[in-house]
Amino acid sequence: MVQQIQHLNPAGFFDPSHYGFTHVVTVPANTTLIYIAGQLGMDERGNLVAADFAAQLKQAFANLRAALAAVGATPEDVVKITVLSVDHDAEKQQLISAARNDRFLNLHCRIVAGAGSAGWSL
């Protein structure tokens, strides 16, 4: 049985580490799993905090941290997140990577482009 969180790239798969994720993550048996809904760049009243991507990204990560804290978890307990980025480009990728590295060390983050609704940047 797994005794700690493990990030694996099995033989036969390409190495995605430069993209910030692994193909497989295992968690110890008898671990409580927590599922958090997708977080946006919205404040507690449901308003977008700003029109720009960086501000929405900062708010989304703050919302995620608050959701984790509400259940007694920390960013170190997170094994995976997926970021949906509207009109994704290299600049947004750099902002996402910097935010992940600043707020969620050791987090394996997968970026998916082309999602969202009008006005959303994240």
Rounded to whole angstroms, the Cα distance separating 26 from 104 reads 18
pLDDT at 71: 95
Q: Is the pLDDT of residue 118 over 80?
A: no
Token code pair at residue 57: 């990204």
Per-residue pLDDT tens over the stretch 67-104: 999 999 988 888 878 888 888 888 988 888 888 777 76
pLDDT at 40: 92
Domains observed in the chain:
6-113 (3.30.1330.40)
| Residues sharing a CB contact under 8 Å with residue 42, sequence separation 6 or more, in sequence order | 48, 49, 59, 63
pLDDT at 122: 59
> What does the mean pLDDT of the chain come to?
82
Q: Are 28 and 43 in contact (CB under 8 A)?
A: no
**Per-position DSSP letters for 50-91, written without gaps between them:** -SSHHHHHHHHHHHHHHHHHHTT--GGG---EEEEETT--HH
Per-residue pLDDT tens over the stretch 8-66: 899 999 988 777 778 888 888 888 889 999 899 999 999 999 999 999 999 999 999 99
Q: Are 8 and 25 in contact (CB under 8 A)?
A: yes
pLDDT at 16: 81
pLDDT at 112: 53
